Chain A
Amino acid sequence: MENQNQSKNYHNPFQLKFSFGLVMMAMIIVSVMTLYAFTDKKTVSEKENRTLSKAPQLSVRNWFNGGFTSQLNSFLNDHVMNRDGMIKTATKFEGMMKKEQEMQITIADSDRKDIGSDALILSDRIIALCISNEDYVRDIIKYSNELYHMMPQGVNKYMMLSPTRIEFETDYCKQYTDSQADLISIIYSAVSDEVKKIDAYSPVDMACDTYGINKIYFRTDHHWTHFGASFGANALLAEFGKNLVNPESFEEIITGEFLGYLAVMHDNEIGDIPPDTYSYYDYGTDVYEDAYGVEGADITEGIHELLVDSSRAGYYTFVERSYQYVVVEGGNKGGGVLMMVNDSYGNALVPWIAKQFDKIIMIDPRVFNGGKQKVLELVEEYKVDSFMINLAGLVVGSSFGGEMKRMCE
């Protein structure tokens, strides 16, 4: 029989008392930590960013419906002594049980996945995985084609899908992800032949080899850096027959350190990961002073404000994304008008290309609710001559295609 205990032998009372004392000590420690909850005045956990449970009020109803006991359990859980320290210890212990060498793989349990919820967590970086979903890929192809077909005669059509960091990581990391090269190729071949497909993959691949992956992509975020975005921008400018930009000819401004979106999203799973250094290039912000945000937002501010927005804590790379659409006045009157359906990769890219266009109309399908009619109105109003869908490869694992659907209805 397992763990049989015999308890008849207590020859040496002192020795037994010592053992008994140890047992009691552990129980007293746990009791004190628990009872401390009744003196704890904290109402908010800053670490978990939530309100802590309050002590329940005992009533007949509360007792018989079980509310009192469950609320008291929650209250004690939330207010035990040194709770943050215990959670840190527990997380470390659980991490020890989970870790495969120096790497953790986090796969979101639900079907509803945000970009970055599936990730590889290493000691120095977090990488968003690209796990494709057949339905999502089909949606992206279907609604991209619908959008292209919606465009009036004479509008040039482009598509640019940009690879993300995992694509250029080590083979060991890449075994957990789908190949974005393959997925981009599948989507490109399924999209209408009249659409010009821009190869952002090759220049970014080359840039990773030349400058190192950490110069092209953030370590704690799923985006490319301001510098990395310039390679995508040049791929686009080359296709449009415009002048390429050389970021190294501008001054690099280092603004400090930040922990990116992936670090915040996986806060409980990461250890002491070194923060990213944020830098951007002073390519002459005064050129873009006439940028307008329209519809659903009352913004009329310069590109500098759009880019260097302190409220976005370090995300200076991007043109603001939370508007239905943004019209960037590039000032190059003969440069043409580009309408772009894009995600945050496009937001990072636009500042590099803006001054070579007359206008760029950026539509974010995640917040745009105007539908087909509004899209066509914008095309007519701004005399759009080029239309581009510009997304990151990661969208094959998200419902972005479904959001594009709203633009076709």
Chain B
Amino acid sequence: MVFSSVIFMGIFLPVSLILYFLAKERKTRNLILLLVSLVFYAWGEPLWIVAILLLTYVDFVFAKKVSVMSDNAGRKKFLAVIVAVNLSVLFVVKYFDFFVSSMNSITGAHLPLLHIRMPIGISFFTFQALTYVVDVYRKDANVQESYANLLLYIAMFPQLIAGPIVRYSDIDRQIQNRDENMQGFVNGMFRFSIGLGKKVVFANYAGNIATSLLTNNFDGISTKAIWVGIIMFTLQLYFDFSGYSDMAIGLGKVFGFDYKENFNYPYMANSIADFWRRWHISLGSFFKDYVYIPLGGNRKHQYFNTLAVWMLTGLWHGASWNFVMWGLFFAGMLVLERNLKKKAGIDVSKIPVTGNLLVMIIITYSMSLFYFTDIHQLLVALRTLLGIGSTISMSLAEKTIVYKYVWSMPFMVIACTPLPANIGKRIFKQDTFLGNIARSLGFCVLYILCFILIINQTYNPFLYFRF
């Protein structure tokens, strides 16, 4: 089920809230939240719900075992088995066909493909399950004694299919002991409506322009037009994904959970490293804590570790060579940035405005690696962006698309900065009467407006669902 759909807004959410708040006891509330979450997932993936139930059960049993084992070597082996089980499911449904078809094209073999349709959100819930078993292994979190509670952590509908990746240790206690209150409800619903607005108004709109230029008019596209298209895709990706995170965090707040922030104005970053501290924070910190540091971090094989993490980050986003290239591109940029600072004394982040601009140009350029999954198209796009082998000026058809929409770009750019939130905070102080009225009215306007817009829009799933 999609948050930005009639059924979610008109039926699922109100019914879930009513059932949840009618219940008085924590146990009942958790049970209701679990059941509605399972319905939420089963709505879109009626078969794969079984996989979540089974995988969670395996993790539940194995983690329990690990928690009582005293032999370190045995615990390590046991952990390796659990991780392998989780990752093998992910590998089979997401990466098997990619590897086999790559092998086929390299060797000329004809190994059969599985053609399994990837269930939505599998990368997210697999990683959440992994954080549980690893946290328990590391003794960073207590083992969960209730299968239902563990299932609730993994399958909770606000963050189930597109994150943020919530660590078990972060909400371990909240499952049993949290505070739902009216202030949290109002704030959470307002945050939800902000995310909904980002998705329905900005992301879908920017996405239409990007598709018009980069897909429908790609043949013979000019340098200027491809830049406009890629900028629009860059904006779409931010509004789409950060919008989903806003909705997830807001709904979490409504149910009394405090999820960590997933975005911190990434397009304000003044270096590539800074960008990755601000973009999809939960994924970055997952790879840092569960891959980069265990591999040795900055202490040993730093370059190899960086390469490995970014290869995996690329692959996490999709089983396709363009995502691998995207990951490697960032690995290269981070190494370059680090060496420029260390060896040449050039710190990009210290160059005001220009540094930020340069970073944004690099980020925007890299988005072509994200957009074009077809390698031939990708190579054309990469050289067209640099003005090689293409016309610079826009054709008439491109002009008509660009002139029609481009005036709204500054508004979207401003919406990517802290400016609107800062103005809002100054005028309407947090948790004051006026602030609450403004937030609830803001919710009413955005919620109803988005509902109206959704009626007129075709199915527009979130981009990160595919991961």
What is the interface of chain A, defined by CB distance below 8 A to chain B?
1-10, 12-13, 15-20, 22-23, 25-31, 33-35, 63-64, 66, 69, 72-73, 76-77, 80, 83, 86-87, 89-91, 93-94, 97-98, 100, 104-105, 107, 109-110, 118, 129, 131, 175-178
Can you sample 24 A-B contacts with CB below 8 Å? A4-B261, A5-B184, A5-B191, A6-B430, A7-B431, A15-B436, A16-B186, A19-B186, A20-B185, A22-B441, A22-B443, A23-B186, A23-B443, A30-B14, A34-B11, A35-B10, A64-B47, A72-B7, A76-B6, A100-B404, A100-B407, A105-B403, A176-B400, A177-B396
Q: Distance (Å) between the CB of B113 and the closest chain A CB?
A: 21
Interface string of B424-467 (1 = CB under 8 A from A): 00000011010011011101100111011111110100000000
Contacts of B457 in A (CB 8 A): 90
Q: Distance (Å) between the CB of B137 and the closest chain A CB?
A: 30
Closest to A74 in B: B459
Bound CA span A4–B6, Å: 28
Q: Is B147 an interface residue (CB 8 A)?
A: no
A16–B187 CB distance below 8 A: no
B14–A31 CB distance below 8 A: yes
B447–A64 CB distance below 8 A: no
Q: Is B401 an interface residue (CB 8 A)?
A: yes
A3–B7 CB distance below 8 A: no
- Knowing A110-B216, A176-B396, say if A87 contacts B455 (CB, 8 Å): yes
Leading 10 A-B pairs by shortest Cβ distance: A34-B10, A90-B456, A7-B184, A22-B440, A26-B444, A5-B187, A19-B436, A19-B440, A1-B261, A9-B431
Q: Distance (Å) between the CB of B15 and the closest chain A CB?
A: 8
Contacts of B400 in A (CB 8 A): 105, 107, 118, 129, 176
Closest to A110 in B: B216
Interface string of B37-52 (1 = CB under 8 A from A): 0000001101100000
Q: Is B188 an interface residue (CB 8 A)?
A: yes
A26–B443 CB distance below 8 A: yes
Q: Distance (Å) between the CB of B48 and the closest chain A CB?
A: 11
Interface string of B173-210 (1 = CB under 8 A from A): 00000010111111111110010000000000100000
| Number of interchain pairs (Cβ within 8 Å) | 182
Q: Distance (Å) between the CB of B255 and the closest chain A CB?
A: 12
Partner among B205, B431, B454 whose Cβ is within 8 Å of the Cβ of A6: B431
Q: Is B263 an interface residue (CB 8 A)?
A: yes
Contacts of A16 in B (CB 8 A): 182-183, 186, 436
Interface string of B131-152 (1 = CB under 8 A from A): 0000000000000000000000
Partner among B11, B205, B401 whose Cβ is within 8 Å of the Cβ of A97: B205
Of the candidates A13, A25, A30, the one having the most CB atoms from chain B within 10 angstroms of its own CB is A30
Q: Is B104 an interface residue (CB 8 A)?
A: no
Contacts of A97 in B (CB 8 A): 205, 405, 408
A19–B397 CB distance below 8 A: no
B397–A131 CB distance below 8 A: yes
B14–A28 CB distance below 8 A: yes
Contacts of A33 in B (CB 8 A): 10, 451
Q: Is B305 an interface residue (CB 8 A)?
A: no
Contacts of B9 in A (CB 8 A): 30, 34
- Knowing A2-B263, A27-B13, A35-B10, say if A22 contacts B444 (CB, 8 Å): yes
B182–A13 CB distance below 8 A: yes
Q: Distance (Å) between the CB of A8 and the closest chain B CB?
A: 7
Closest to B458 in A: A77
Q: Is B246 an interface residue (CB 8 A)?
A: yes
- Knowing A4-B261, A90-B455, say if A100 contacts B403 (CB, 8 Å): yes
Say what secondary structure dominates the interface of chain A: helix
Contacts of A93 in B (CB 8 A): 449, 452-453
A89–B452 CB distance below 8 A: yes
A8–B183 CB distance below 8 A: yes
Q: Distance (Å) between the CB of B183 and the closest chain A CB?
A: 4
Interface size on B, residues (CB 8 A): 72
Q: Distance (Å) between the CB of A172 and the closest chain B CB?
A: 11
Closest to A98 in B: B404
A30–B10 CB distance below 8 A: yes
Q: Is B111 an interface residue (CB 8 A)?
A: no
- Knowing A17-B182, A26-B447, A109-B216, say if A35 contacts B440 (CB, 8 Å): no
Q: Distance (Å) between the CB of A11 and the closest chain B CB?
A: 8
Partner among B46, B421, B439 whose Cβ is within 8 Å of the Cβ of A19: B439
Contacts of A118 in B (CB 8 A): 397, 400
Contacts of B408 in A (CB 8 A): 97
Contacts of B368 in A (CB 8 A): none
Q: Distance (Å) between the CB of A173 and the closest chain B CB?
A: 11
B191–A3 CB distance below 8 A: yes
- Knowing A3-B246, A80-B455, A83-B455, say if A15 contacts B14 (CB, 8 Å): no
Q: Is B253 an interface residue (CB 8 A)?
A: yes
Closest to A14 in B: B433
Contacts of A1 in B (CB 8 A): 261, 264
Bound CA span A15–B437, Å: 8
Contacts of A10 in B (CB 8 A): 181-183, 431
Contacts of A7 in B (CB 8 A): 179, 181, 183-184, 187-188, 253, 431
Q: Distance (Å) between the CB of B430 and the closest chain A CB?
A: 6
Contacts of B191 in A (CB 8 A): 3, 5
Closest to B435 in A: A19
Partner among B242, B401, B455 whose Cβ is within 8 Å of the Cβ of A86: B455
Having A4-B261, A20-B440, A31-B10, one finds 12 other A-B pairs with CB under 8 Å, namely A1-B261, A2-B421, A9-B430, A23-B185, A23-B440, A23-B444, A33-B451, A63-B46, A66-B46, A90-B452, A107-B404, A176-B403
Bound CA span A18–B437, Å: 8
Bound CA span A91–B443, Å: 21
Q: Is B5 an interface residue (CB 8 A)?
A: yes
Contacts of A94 in B (CB 8 A): 205, 453, 456
Interface string of B1-44 (1 = CB under 8 A from A): 10001110111011001000000000000000000000000011
Q: Distance (Å) between the CB of A384 and the closest chain B CB?
A: 39
Contacts of B250 in A (CB 8 A): 5
Q: Is B418 an interface residue (CB 8 A)?
A: yes
Contacts of A178 in B (CB 8 A): 396
A3–B421 CB distance below 8 A: yes
Contacts of B10 in A (CB 8 A): 30-31, 33-35, 76, 80
Closest to A83 in B: B455
Q: Is B265 an interface residue (CB 8 A)?
A: yes
Bound CA span A9–B399, Å: 52
Q: Distance (Å) between the CB of B251 and the closest chain A CB?
A: 12
Bound CA span A97–B369, Å: 28
Contacts of A105 in B (CB 8 A): 400-401, 403-404
